[in-house]
């Protein structure tokens, strides 16, 4: 599997995780926007390592979302791990595919 395919697979797994955690607000635009923001950082940095957990904008006011937060961070870490293996050409292809840039 190419590095580009590995990143796409990790993003698809993140999206599945969002669906599975939808009752916590994981399908809301804020979470998708946060993931896109992080992906943009990973693709822009030369060898960006994950900088720490993200505090996802979930329904924390009405329920305990700790497990959902942890699950989303694990899925995000898999994206970061896949991006780190990409060369510049693969990163450019992924930027074009996801951001049209």
pLDDT, tens digit (0-9, with 9 covering 90-100), for 72-90: 999 999 999 999 999 999 9
Please say whether the beta carbons of 33 and 63 come within 8 A: no
CA distance 31 to 12: 14
CA dihedral 13, 19, 24, 28 (to 10 degrees): 100
Instruction: State the number of CA atoms in the 13 A half-sphere of 68 facing the CB.
Output: 21
The domain spans of the chain are 3-96
Q: In which residue ranges of the chain is pLDDT below 70?
A: 46-51, 101
pLDDT in the model for residue 46? 65
CA distance 96 to 38: 16
CA distance 29 to 67: 19
């Amino acid at each position: 599997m190419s590095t580009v395919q590995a990143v796409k697979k990790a993003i698809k797994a993140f999206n599945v995780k969002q669906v599975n955690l939808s009752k916590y607000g994981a399908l809301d635009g804020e979470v998708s926007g946060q993931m896109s923001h992080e992906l943009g950082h990973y693709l822009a940095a030369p060898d960006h390592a994950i900088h720490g957990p993200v505090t996802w904008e979930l329904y924390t006011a009405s329920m305990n979302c700790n497990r959902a937060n942890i699950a989303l961070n694990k899925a995000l870490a898999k994206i970061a791990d896949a991006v780190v293996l990409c060369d510049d050409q693969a990163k450019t292809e992924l930027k074009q595919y996801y951001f049209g840039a």
